[in-house]
Structure 1
Amino acid sequence: MLLFIKLVYLIIIAVACAVGGLAPLIFKKWFGEKSLSYSNCLGSGILIGASFIHLLKDSQELLEDQYDFPLSNLFCAIGFFLSFILERVLFEHKHEHSMPIGLIEQTKHDHEEQDTGNELKLFSVQLHKKNDDETQHGEENSFVLGIGDINQTSPHDDGDDSMINLIDSSKKNHKHGHSHNHHKEKQDQLQQPLQQKKKFPFMLFAVLSLESFISGSALGIQDNEVSVFVTFLAIVSHIWSESFTLSASVMKTRQSLKTIYISCIIFSIVTPLGGLFGLISEKILTHSQSNFTTSILLALASGCFLYVAIFEILAEEFSGDDHHHHHHSDNQDIDIDIELDDDQENNVGHSHQHKHTRKNFFKWIKLFLVGIGFTFMSVIGIVV
């Protein structure tokens, strides 16, 4: 009878895990791409809560009567640094923060065009100054810096006529050659980073699968109905949220739907496999041996959870788009000072301030969702 109850519980856990894994797909359909970032932040809070409040606590309870030394805390730290070494030292990879080569070349081309335009602007200013010196009529002429503004009639020699015609001809040829496809190509290049497929989150998948396997083993190894039910309730209350976190992270890397479904299915059957391992271990290992093994694995998983939540999710989500701002500010120096009128300065300042405020607003939303995820796991820890 106890074996049948365990199998039913494992099936329910697998179904709950699958439902949680499909939830981000529904969120994306209803709320758009932004919901993936929000789901990721919610999931990071869940992972931090699961690490400190569930896994580490369960590990300590299993070892508290056997050792005075805090082995659970030690192996939690080992799990954290082991994850760091695996990802950042042995299998180092870079996150997709750099711009694609095509976009860099396009930007370089734009800057070259801008430098040419600045040289023409400088010549136009010098030309107008020369005309003012020659006429000496005391006329106050207002000139707006720009290639298209050299249309005023003023006395000048044939050399100046030729140079102005050359500037106007250069401008017209540039417009004719680039006006049709330049804007579309630039848009395609800017959209390219959004369409690139990033690396599958193997580290997150590995640590979540490890924790799920250990949880299933803990259920399978229990020897009475009450402990089996308590363990089942503890697992099913948070396993769906871990599946939710995994699917949201996989979707954020722009994997295919097939990959998302496969990862969701594999993760859903990990806990039942752990349960079967627990059933076998119950017949082989003694109670103290199984408790020690489970506690060490739970502590390791706790450290892995903490690493993934901080370095894999939060660091990525809160890095923002700062690299874009650095790129736009590198080549903005020009040969002459251009004085903007008051309206232009106000518009530029207002636009920059609006973007900065909007960016901070979204970061506060993400931080709020991290807190919601952590609070959710805290409440479960109190209730269960």
Structure 2
Amino acid sequence: MIGIKLALLIAILVAGASGAAMPLRRREATGGERLLGWGNAFAAGVFLAAGLVHMLPDADRTWTSLGHDYPTAFALAGLAFVFMLLVEHVLLPEQAHEEVHAPSGERFARIAERHQHSGNALAAYAVLIALSIHSLLAGLALGAEADLSRALVISLAIIAHKTAAGFALGASLARSGLPARQSWTLVALFASATPAGGLVGAIVGEVVDGHLGSGLEAAFLSIASGTFIYVATFDILRDEFPARGGRFAKWCVVTVGVAAMSALAIWT
């Protein structure tokens, strides 16, 4: 299981770096915004069902087995949700907020604007921090996931969203005026956030046993479920659906993601 998770984490790292590389290497991507939007929408569906159908109930059962009568899983998920809301919608500078929450189509359009409107380094760093936080938490969830089939589907969703998030970071860096070496260093930090979280989650799951191990796994799942629900709603659906055109197609893709992840609950 560790070997499979390691391979998945490497794939996620490559996806994040590849997404950021597109605007940094000044590639023109004809029609790419549609695929990026669909991939992001699918990720939203999977994240939503993963949080509500799988991770939150699993965490609640674990907390209950540990003797917690209080709904700890739901409380931690709620705290994770409002924490991400604080980070991405309150603390972010305005320019960074626009970069993080631009619809997929606008991210492509902004590549062409980078020479006309120079950004600032602070916004790029803020985008990096915001995107890396929920990437790290998503990695913790993947690392703590004991079921292989769920881990595979969650990884697919993370890859789809990581590519879109990487593109947002790359566009911000391309507009920031930062030196190329510094920009690629920031890309590497972002790309490695999910694998780092995944390794921590996997190691904790393998090394820490007993009551403490179960408690840590339940805490990871609780926090990650709140993060997944936030990412699906406020970070993806809120951004993708206001964009004109293709809303029904995106809704279909979201529904497929929810249905696919929910169907796994029958066998897992």
TM > 0.5: yes
Residue 381 in structure 1 maps to residue 239 in structure 2:
no
Distance change in 2, residues 1:16/1:89 (3 Å): closer
Is contact 2:74–2:222 with CA below 8 Å preserved after alignment?
yes
Change (3 A) 1:211 1:267: closer
- Contact 1:20/1:241 (CA < 8 Å) preserved in 2? no
Which residue of the partner structure matches residue 78 of structure 2? 77
**Equivalent pair of 1:62/1:295 in contact (CA under 8 Å):** yes
Shift of 1:59: 0.4
How many angstroms does 1:20 deviate by? Answer: 5.5
Separation in structure 1 between the aligned mates of residue 113 and residue 9 of structure 2, nearest angstrom: 37
Amino acid at match of 2:201: G
How far apart, CA to CA, are the structure 2 residues paired with 1:368 and 1:194?
Answer: 36
Greater Rg over alpha carbons, structure: 1
Which shows bigger deviation, 50-59 or 86-95? 86-95
Cα distance in 1 between the residues matched to 2:252 and 2:187:
27
Equivalent residues in 2 for 1:82-161, closer than 5 Å: 82-91=83-92, 93=94, 95-96=97-98
Select 1:11's aligned residue among 6, 12, 25.
6
Q: Please list every run of 5 or more consecutive structure 2 residues that lacks an aligned counterpart in the other structure.
A: 23-27, 100-108, 175-182
Aligned counterpart, 1:60 = 60
Listed one character per residue, the Cα deviations across residues 318-366 of structure 1 (whole Å, up to 9, x for unaligned) are 233xxxxxxxxxxxxxxxxxxxxxxxxxxxxxxxxxxxxxx4x412222
> Counterparts of 1:280 and 1:238 in 2: how far apart (Å)?
23
How far, CA to CA, are the matches of 2:35 and 2:226 in structure 1?
A: 27
Q: 1:252 to 1:208 in 2, by over 3 A?
A: closer
Structure 1 contact 243–264 (Cα < 8 Å) conserved: no
Deviation string, structure 1 residues 145-184 (Cα, Å, up to 9, x no partner): xxxxxxxxxxxxxxxxxxxxxxxxxxxxxxxxxxxxxxxx
1:278-332 per-residue CA deviation (whole Å, 9 max, x = no partner) reads 34433xxxx1222123212321221122222222222222233xxxxxxxxxxxx
Checking the alignment, whether the CA contact within 8 Å between 2:45 and 2:257 is kept in structure 1 is yes
CA spacing shift, 1:260–1:33, aligned 2, 3 Å:
farther
2:234 aligned counterpart, secondary structure: helix
Contact map agreement 2:138 2:197 (CA 8 A) in 1: no
Structure 1 pair 23/371, CA: closer, same or farther in 2 (3 Å)?
A: farther
Q: How many angstroms does 1:378 deviate by?
A: 1.3
After superposition, residues 233-382 of structure 1 pair within 5 angstroms as 233-253=149-169, 254=171, 255=173, 258=184, 263-282=190-209, 287-320=210-243, 359=244, 361-382=245-266
Q: 1:202 to 1:372 in 2, by over 3 A?
A: farther
Q: Report the Cα offset of residue 245 of structure 1.
A: 0.8
TM-score, with length taken from structure 2:
0.70
Say if 1:265 and 1:85 are closer, same or farther in 2 by CA, change over 3 A. closer
Percent identity for Structure 1 against Structure 2: 20
Equivalent position amino acid for 2:98 in 1: E
Give the count of matched residue pairs: 233
CA distance in 1, matches of 2:91, 2:238: 20
Please point out which of 113, 136, 158 is paired with 1:192. Answer: 113
The answer to whether the Cα contact below 8 Å between 1:56 and 1:73 also exists between their aligned partners in 2 is: yes
Q: Which residue in 2 is equivalent to 1:147?
A: none
Q: Residues of 2 paired with 1:19 and 1:62: CA distance?
A: 33
- What is the CA–CA distance in structure 2 between the aligned matches of 1:22 and 1:31, rounded to whole Å? 20
Contact 2:138–2:158 (Cα < 8 Å) also in 1: no
* Comparing 270-279 and 195-204, the one that deviates more: 195-204
Change (3 A) 1:54 1:15: same
Q: 1:21 to 1:372 in 2, by over 3 A?
A: farther
Whether contact under 8 Å (1:247, 1:260) holds in the other structure is no
- Aligned alpha-carbon RMSD (Å): 3.6
Task: Report the TM-score when normalising by structure 1.
Answer: 0.51
- Taking a change above 3 Å as real, the CA distance of residues 201 and 9 of structure 1, as seen in their structure-2 partners, is same
Read off the aligned partner of 1:212 and give its amino acid letter: G
Cα drift, residue 266 of structure 1: 4.3
Give the conservation status (yes or no) of the 8 Å contact 1:55–1:298: yes
Residue in 2 aligned with 1:125? Answer: none
Distance 1:368 1:195 in 2: 37
